[in-house]
Amino acid sequence: MTRSYEGKGSPEHWGELSEQWQTCKEGMYQSPINISHPVSANLPPLDFNFHTNVKSIVNNGHTIQITVHDEDDFLLDGQIWNLKQFHFHSPSENHINGQRFPLELHFFHANSQGELAVLAVMLTPGKTNPALDILLDVLPTTVHQEQALQQDMMLEKRFPQDKHYYRFSGSLTTPPCTEGFICLVMKRPVEASHAQLARFARALRNANNRPLQPLHGRQITE
């Protein structure tokens, strides 16, 4: 049995499909969550160092994933976090004050010790986003066929101007659901047209959002 988002391989069964995936069922710090009642910690806005150098794109059967060179980074907890890859979930996995968004981008970063931080950006219906058109033009039509990218990705346009965020301790939202991740969710969404959002949904073919997970007393800061 392989994992999926529906049927016998759906998220509620992931912990039963493999001994290595028990955390999906037993973990206490699982993602995604509904972000509400955050505690004020005066978190400073993120200071990004943006580049545009991407390597490849692939539809891996679960999401559209773009791999990048280790250039884009930000400073957090006195450490530099380098972007490794980003991918898409439609509809969004995390909610903000009970609101679900049509699309969520996950940017995976790692520090020099190999620890991971996941940065999420929500997309909401609005104006056409030129940065997304560049990506839509190269969306894979074949599953598991990785292709090199030569285009500049304009990564800064995929982030809101307001760089404030929510922070909590979370996990991978796919098996093995590993915990111990720093999870950051940008407070403000980025706009994309209805047509752009629909094209992403069609490219993903099926919804690929894990259901919300219990907080288990976790604190969300802002």
Burial classification of residue 41, based on how many CB atoms lie within 10 Å of its CB (0-12 exposed, 13-18 middle, 19 or more buried): exposed
Burial classification of residue 22, based on how many CB atoms lie within 10 Å of its CB (0-12 exposed, 13-18 middle, 19 or more buried): middle
Q: Establish whether 106 is a catalytic residue.
A: no
Annotated catalytic residue, options 13, 37, 62, 106 = 62
Cα 103 from chain centroid? 9
Structure tokens at 218: 């976790």
Q: Is the peptide bond before 32 cis (omega within 30 degrees of 0)?
A: yes
Contacts 24+ apart (CB under 8 A), 66-72: 66/135, 66/149, 66/153, 68/153, 72/48, 72/155
**Is the sign of the CA dihedral 46, 74, 211, 218 positive or negative?**
negative
Select from 84, 85, 64, 198 the least CA-distant residue to 140: 64
- Active site (catalytic) residues: 62
